[in-house]
Structure 1
Amino acid sequence: MLFYPYSGLKAHNLEFLTGINLQFLGIVGLSFFITAVAIPSVMHISDRYKLYDQKDFYRKDHAGEISRLGGIAIFCGFMITLLMFATLLNTTTPNFLIIACLILFGVGLKDDIYGVNVSTKFGLQFIVALILVTFGGYRLSSMYGVFGITDMNPFWGSIFTIAVIIFINNAFNLIDGIDGLSSTIGIIVNLTFGISFVVCRDYTSAFVAFSLVGAIAGFLVYNHAPAKIFMGDTGALIIGLVSVVLAIRFIELNRFNYVSNPDFTAGPAVAVAILIVPVFDSLRIFTIRILKGVSPFLGDNNHIHHRLKQHGFSTNQTVLILAAFNIIMIVFAVYMQNMGNFGLISVMITICVLFNVLLTYKKGRKKYRHYKISDILFKDTINFRKGIL
């Protein structure tokens, strides 16, 4: 018997929980199978029509001609599983998420094949975010005490949520710079949200998360170093969109105002911890580019994963380090929720900054004997020159 969020069954009933676990395993397995089976066909079409990733010698280190259309298989595995279980569960909850994913799929696919200018991409991302906020009901209603801000009126809450959706939507694209990183982090993020929604008894959101977990895992079989295929913008945008939608749902589900005893008392801080790798790397890279006086969308080799590789770590080691860092931050946030949202987020950002300072300082000392801590800010951030680190 398929579960339904309002079935009236007790969440602590062992038989009920066993049934849920089996169904989620089925969801992960189905989306994994569809994606894994679709990848060889995508690779064959890419070979036939020469649809390969354009090698950027400054930012990428892969050799040979590799397809960047893996996002098609991720989309198919995720969407088919999502539609199938939404029909079986007789729920319309994911409808606007499905519409949003369809729009981004078209944008990403065109970008992967022909290219899309920045204004068009961001314009369509704004439309997608507007649909989700206005019709899908995915809107942050409060800042939960961060920067001293609590409740937001619907207008400012909508504006803030649209900005968050667009930012995190692109964050997964920004970390997709080495084999297996974006897909591994995507699995960690959505698996954590899936488990969290089971704890919160929001089973519809949980099956959305697990549908994406299976699809990404099926893709990762071919994407770990040395990668046979890349996810491209199509995959990265879908993963980013679903992840941020689940984050918003998770935060609002654990709000004190309409949940007397939320399962997570610091929902926003836990959500930030779950998304810490793409969020911090994007904030860091945008800040550095702005301080340099260049476009925040200008590509470079200054991401955290590039820094780790410059320290001599292999691609797989870099992925494992960042994956472990992500998991540690999640565990830390869950166990330290009594610190409150602002305090916990501040501590996590401080840890990330110290991690970045350590990487930058060690790299600077390796290249310049008289390199100082102050050079991290005044040489490598404000006056950062291409190729210095």
Structure 2
Amino acid sequence: MTLSTTIITLIFSFLLSVILAPIVIPYLRKMKFGQSIREEGPESHHKKAGTPTMGGLIFMTSIIISTLAISIYFDKLTTQTVVLLLILVGFGLIGFLDDFIKVVLKRNLGLTSIQKLIGQIIISVIAYFLLKLGPFDTTLAIPFTKIAISLGQFYVAFLLFWLVGFSNAVNLSDGLDGLVSGTASVSFVTFGVIALTYEQTDIAIFAFSVSGALLGFLLFNKNPAKVFMGDTGSLALGGALAMVSILVKQELILLLVGIIFVMETLSVILQVISFKTTGKRIFKMSPIHHHFELSGWSERKVVTVFWAIGFLASMIVVFLEVL
């Protein structure tokens, strides 16, 4: 029943996104929620200006409905489910406010970094205390070994760093049509399979719900995109992905499953450090997906190669951790 339940979840959330997108996209366009393109970005991106953004609302709605419906129907609604939805909605709300300020109020910077950080920390702390209401493992497993390090009270600091870090990492990666929606769908399926292996059906339902919703959204987000997820979607996905890794107690495996998000973030960090210390840039532009674009790769080629890297990394994890 467990495998069939997750498959039903994936299909259900996929169909919800497919149904919702044609309804929501025209509304976003009517409300003039169009994406603004930064001037210093690749010239080929300027034609994307005005494409509806805040599309994260589409798959977030699908995820919430399918997760709750399937969890309640199969009696799998748990505190962990509530925490996952809290992170998804909470981080998504921060992203929505950021998008709203930039797109509707026409303030290009949106929320400040400090404002976003404070919001993310508050939501993460609430999630931590909800988890602490029951038995909560504060050890950190070393991938592909039986070694686990006890962090004790320091685990809350790790949790904050992990949630905020990966939320922003996914946000940085959201710069090409379909890049995040495709890559993240594979990452969530991978953790869904891990959750099934550990008989954590509640987490598996959520993970497969996210993946299905993203695949449905991808039909409208692939190049040329009819809609962008915006910070509304990317911040929510990053936080939820980090929390899933925490709940299945395979936190560090996320560094491999989410290798694209790690690469994108490291490219930005290295670029900043290099420029501030030497005055020279390592990459033509960061995040690194822009570097490949400016090196002559088409947007579709960059996305396809990055998808392939993410898929291969996830398959390695499944082979070593599950099979």
- Which TM class, normalised by the smaller chain length? 0.7 to 0.9
Query: How far did 1:268 drift?
Result: 5.1
Q: Structure 2 CA distance, aligned partners of 1:286 and 1:326?
A: 20
Q: Which one of the candidate residues 45, 48, 66 is aligned to 2:51?
A: 66
The one-letter code of the counterpart of 2:91 is L
Q: How many residues of Structure 1 are paired with residues of Structure 2 in the alignment?
A: 297
Q: Structure 2 CA distance, aligned partners of 1:23 and 1:89?
A: 8
Out of 134-143 and 66-75, give the one that drifted further: 134-143
Matched, 1:320 2:304: yes
Q: Structure 1 CA distance, aligned partners of 2:119 and 2:11?
A: 32
Cα separation, partners in 2 of 1:331 and 1:97, compared to 1, 3 Å: closer
Q: Structure 1 CA distance, aligned partners of 2:88 and 2:319?
A: 33
Residue in structure 2 matched with residue 311 of structure 1 by the alignment: 295
The one-letter code of the counterpart of 2:82 is N
More relative contact order, 1 or 2 (CA 8 Å, 6+ apart): 2
Matched, 1:50 2:32: yes
Q: Structure 2 CA distance, aligned partners of 1:306 and 1:55?
A: 13
Matched, 1:127 2:122: yes
Out of 30-39 and 55-64, give the one that drifted further: 55-64
Structural mapping, 1:258-269, within 5 Å: 267=250
- CA RMSD of the aligned region, Å? 2.4
Asked if structure 2 preserves the Cα contact closer than 8 Å seen for 1:281 and 1:304, the reply is yes
Extract unaligned runs of 5+ from structure 2.
Answer: 102-109, 278-283
Q: Structure 2 CA distance, aligned partners of 1:315 and 1:145?
A: 33
What do the CA deviations read for 1:140-164 (whole angstroms, capped 9, x no partner)? Answer: 5236399xx9634422121122111
What do the CA deviations read for 1:95-143 (whole angstroms, capped 9, x no partner)? Answer: 1222232322322212112132221111010112112222225775236
- Relative to the length of structure 1, the TM-score reads 0.70
Cα separation, partners in 2 of 1:280 and 1:33, compared to 1, 3 Å: same
Rg comparison, structure with higher value: 1
Residue in structure 2 matched with residue 218 of structure 1 by the alignment: 216
Structural mapping, 1:17-56, within 5 Å: 19-56=1-38
Structure 1 stretches of at least 4 aligned residues deviating more than 4 Å after TM superposition: 137-140, 333-337
Residue in structure 1 matched with residue 107 of structure 2 by the alignment: none
Extract unaligned runs of 5+ from structure 1.
Answer: 1-18, 253-266, 295-299, 338-389
Cα separation, partners in 2 of 1:171 and 1:139, compared to 1, 3 Å: farther
- State the percentage of identical aligned residues: 24
Residue in structure 2 matched with residue 374 of structure 1 by the alignment: none
Q: Structure 2 CA distance, aligned partners of 1:247 and 1:55?
A: 33
Residue in structure 1 matched with residue 88 of structure 2 by the alignment: 101
Query: How far did 1:182 drift?
Result: 0.7
